[in-house]
Amino acid sequence: MSKFHSTVTRRDFMKALGLTGAGLGAAAAASPVFHDLDEFMSSPNAKRKLPWWVKEKDTPTTDIDWGLVKRWDARNSYHDTPEKVGYLIENREKLTKQWSLENKLGYTQRDLALWESMNFPFSLLRGSWTGPAIEMMLHTPEAMGVPRYQGTPEENLQMLRAAIRFFGASDITAMEFDGNAQKCIFSHYSDGKTYEFENVDKAYEDDTKRVIPNNCNNVLVWSLVQSDSLGSRTAEGDCSYANSTATYMAYYRIYNIEGMIQRFLHVLGYQGLAHGTGGMSGAGAFATLSGAGELGRVSFNLHPIYGANIRSPNKMLTDLPLAATKPIDAGLKRFCLDCARCADVCPSGAVKQEGPQWEVHGSFNNGGFEAWRPDYAKCLPYRGFPGGEFPSDCGMCQAVCVFNKQDKAGIHEVVAATVATTGIFNSFFTSMDKAFGYGPKDPEDWWHEKLPVYGINSYMA
Amino acid sequence: MWLIIGLIAGAAVLGLVLWMRGKDVSVKWYEWLIGAIGLLLLLFTIQNFAGSLAELESTAANMFLLVSGLPAIILLAVAWQLIARRQRAG
């Protein structure tokens, strides 16, 4: 028999062709086809898919002494008081003009234009406590005289995951709003109003307080990935408008999505209490407790897939029953113990080089848990505030995080799985991250690159 | 991409084996091992090089060529030379 000619007969070829056709037909028949929302939300796409190396635990990797946790007063925030926010100052105006004229890297006139296109009144970020004002236009069960939607807690979470991913968020977790979790709610907001728990059916707000009904006993947490292709444009050793633009773009999206979730819940017949990114509770609290990530060195919630490239894990209280997700351990906090890239690049020294502590640095921190707490008194001048060194918000700590990786190069999965399993390679991986040039990139290059819409790889996770 | 790389790699290995049989070239087990490690390292390099470029991480892409691509080429060259020199000696 010749080695150089095909030994496949015409009959075998036709048989193989038939089998291939049958295979394709079977694959097509097995492909998901959705006829309604019920089928859609029960599809695997609506389930939370954690990478295999992420372990679900009963307690978060952050040690918490609930006996020491007290409801924090947000009037102590360095970010929210009216005298510290929302106005430009002489120094900032001077630098803006000077750097524009100098074509300073990251602060050119077109960088400024991009940044200011995202600059909008921060009061909008606070959203609406009980929901958008257009609620009267919604076909709620109350308005239509029909029973409200009913589903199991598992079905409800899947339904919300399907909807909220469609709205634009990246990950959705949930937890029970029990006695300890209630301590995560601020005592006061920066406007002086208190957050109160009352035995009423509906949430409300008056001149002195925002009221949480006791029936809102579930917390929904939704994390939004921001554009790392823009967020990373901060040359090492300096901040930039570009980095800040990515942040502000995320805030725009958060504001819109929050309203969408509230309207979605209202039409189903349920409440959704939210107060933007800076209201109601600290951003990392419910995220860490519900498994949206681990609390890292900059007090960011580090997501196992998106790293620090998350703009504020957002939270909403609801009376819709939700299946709780568990806290996670992906070795992220342990990695932060050995890696301090964020602290290395912090221009203010606000991000600490030492390990996590129980002590607080000032009234702007809350106590009761062992964590890295940035010194916001040092951070503030770098966030576009009065007397500041930079006109825009500095986000270099976020931009250099080792976990901000895309999913194209296979090595990232190997590193992430190793980090989740053992900490002995952490220092090596930190060194390699620097050697391979990950982290800040030239802001000028961004204008010439082919990037996805919103600068986000929405296929991740 | 992996489908195409797998097809090309499979075809290349098959072609190599057939060619060596035709030429009556014998290969020791450790030569197979060195060659296989070199090939795996080469595939690892290709994936991470292409992936890093897709991630707009050009420095990382070049580092992969250096850190894993170069050893891959060296291992494949060692396997080739071991076989070739033994053939010449034999």
Q: What is the dihedral of CA A16, A18, A19, A21, to 10 degrees?
A: 120
* Cα-based distances in Å from A308 to A16, A239, A416, B60: 50, 17, 14, 20
Q: Is A441 on the interface with B (CB under 8 A)?
A: yes
Q: Which residues of B touch A437 (CB under 8 A)?
A: 57-60, 63
Distance from CA of A436 to the nearest CA of B (A): 4
Give me the tens of pLDDT residue by residue for chain A, a chain 461 residues long. Answer: 444 444 555 565 555 555 445 444 444 444 445 566 666 555 555 567 899 999 999 999 999 999 999 999 998 876 544 455 444 456 677 788 888 999 988 889 999 899 888 876 665 666 688 887 655 688 999 999 999 999 999 999 999 999 999 999 999 999 999 889 999 999 999 889 999 999 999 999 999 999 999 999 999 999 999 988 888 887 656 778 888 888 888 988 888 899 999 999 999 999 999 988 888 998 899 999 999 999 999 988 999 999 999 988 899 999 999 999 999 999 999 999 999 999 999 988 999 999 999 998 888 889 999 999 988 878 877 876 555 666 677 888 999 999 999 999 999 999 999 999 999 999 999 999 999 999 888 888 899 988 888 888 877 76
Helix (H) or strand (E) run with residue B3 in it:
helix B2-22
Predicted pLDDT at A358:
94
- The pTM for the full model equals 0.85
Residue A277 makes CB contacts below 8 A (sequence gap 6+) with A125, A251, A254, A283, A311, A312, A314
Q: For residue A199, give both structure tokens.
A: 């035995």
DSSP 8-state assignment for residue A275: -
Are A408 and B51 a contacting pair at CB < 8 A?
yes
Q: What is the DSSP string of A191-213?
A: TSPEEEEES-SS-EE-SSEEEEE
Nearest CA in chain B to A406: B55
Residues in chain A: 461
> d(Cα A362, Cα A269) in Å, to the nearest integer?
42
Distances (CA, A) of B27 to B33, B39, B47, B87: 10, 16, 28, 10
Q: pLDDT of B55-75, one tens digit each?
A: 989 999 999 999 999 999 999
B-chain CB neighbours of A4 within 8 Å are none
Contacts 24+ apart (CB under 8 A), A188-191: A188/A73, A188/A74, A188/A75, A189/A74, A189/A75, A189/A80, A189/A275, A189/A279, A189/A280, A190/A74, A190/A75, A190/A77, A190/A80, A190/A81, A190/A82, A190/A278
Query: Which pLDDT value is given to residue A131?
Result: 81
Residues of chain B whose beta carbon is less than 8 angstroms from a beta carbon of chain A are 18, 22, 44, 47-48, 50-52, 54-60, 63-64
Cβ–Cβ below 8 Å for B63 and A437: yes
- Give, to the nearest 10 degrees, the angle between helix B29-54 and helix B2-22: 150
pLDDT at res. A136: 65
Helices (H), A318-425: 332-338, 341-345, 376-379, 396-399, 411-421
Pair A326, A291: CB distance under 8 Å? yes
- Looking at chain A, which residue has its C-alpha nearest residue B62? A436
Q: Which residue has the tokens 């194209």?
A: A408
Q: Are A213 and A202 in contact (CB under 8 A)?
A: yes
Q: Do A408 and B60 touch (CB under 8 A)?
A: no
Paired tokens of A6: 């095909």
Distance CA A325, CA A173 (A): 6
Residue A411: closest C-alpha in chain B? B48
| Bridge partner residues of A273 (DSSP) | A317
- Interface residue A229 vs chain B (CB under 8 A): yes
- What average pLDDT does the structure give for chain B? 92
Please judge whether A410 and B44 are an interchain contact, meaning their C-beta atoms are less than 8 angstroms apart: yes
CB pairs < 8 Å spanning A and B: 41
Residue with tokens 């990935």: A225
With CA atoms as reference, report the closest residue to A297 among A370, A192, A215, A231. A370
